[in-house]
Structure 1
Amino acid sequence: MMMLSTAVKVYVAAEPIDMRKSIDSLSMLVGPMFDQDALSGHVFYGRRRDKIKVLVYDRTGFGLMYKRFESGSLADPATIARRGISLAELTTWLEGIDVGVCRRVRAVNATVVA
């Protein structure tokens, strides 16, 4: 089973693509769309934003994860396009939350008094 490492940055495309593209076609789009190599995680989405494909490379080769939403669509990807997001942010975005406007709250160190 293919898994994304938590250390990998995931990059989201700035514009929709033809969802009929496969691994080879998507890996060739990474250079022109992201200006980088295809060895990070890259997320592509369709025009209606109801389908996504995540192109991932592990040490044995490329893998493609595909998700089709039963209802609704992704939050606007413009706020996170082309910047690296964490695996946690990707998961949140796929749940329908706009991570471009969310911010992480830092935990406060507290002393426990018994």
Structure 2
Amino acid sequence: MLSFSGNLKVYLATEPCDMRKSFNGLSAVVSQKLQESPTSGAAYLFTNKKRTLLKILYWDGSGLWVMAKRLEKGTFSWPKHTSTKDGKICLEPTALAMLTDGIDLRDGCRRAWYEKP
């Protein structure tokens, strides 16, 4: 499980992203499409079209982090890109932890792909 401070800003990109992108490519998406600064200290979440891969871009004050999670089966619960005009949704840090742990943000239930260890 990931753990971030309670005052962390988390932005979820609602449109699918090319998962071949890394530091520079994801930073460009944050700047150009989301109209945010990649070095603001916020975490930016991206997924692919199939919603099987999640990448997080995060500035910790001294450099950028790129974190990734690939699901072996199932998909991430992800809002449709038509649900917002600016292509992003602001989440609470607890919602980020819930998303990566397999909890559907719409109803608070674990997704079918999740199995307890």
> Is TM-score (shorter-chain normalized) higher than 0.5?
yes
Q: Give TM-score, length-normalised by structure 2.
A: 0.75
Alpha-carbon separation, structure 2, partners of 1:23 and 1:5: 22
- Specify the SS of the correspondent of 2:29: helix
The alignment's C-alpha RMSD in Å is: 2.2
For residues 94 and 59 of structure 2, the distance between their equivalents in structure 1, rounded to whole angstroms, comes to 18
Partner secondary structure for residue 31 of structure 1: helix
CA distance in 1, matches of 2:5, 2:65: 13
Count of residue pairs the alignment pairs up: 101
Q: How does 1:36-75 map to 2 (within 5 A)?
A: 36-38=36-38, 39=40, 40-75=42-77
Structure 2, unpaired ranges of 5+: 109-117
State which of 89, 100, 106 in structure 2 corresponds to 1:94.
100
Q: CA deviation at 1:97?
A: 2.4
Instruction: Please give the alpha-carbon distance, in whole angstroms, between the structure 1 residues aligned to 2:45 and 2:65.
Output: 12
TM-score relative to the length of structure 1: 0.77
| C-alpha separation in 2, matches of 1:3 and 1:62 | 17
Unaligned runs of 5+ residues in structure 1 are 103-114
Q: CA deviation at 1:75?
A: 1.1
Residue by residue over 1:6-45, the C-alpha shift from the partner in whole angstroms, topping out at 9 and shown as x without a partner, is: 2111101111111110111101110222121112110011
Deviation for aligned residue 1:77: 2.4
After TM superposition, the runs of 4+ consecutive aligned structure 1 residues lying more than 3 A away are: none
Give the residue type in structure 1 aligned to 2:62. Answer: T
Pairwise CA distance, 1:5: 2.6
Aligned counterpart, 1:15: 15
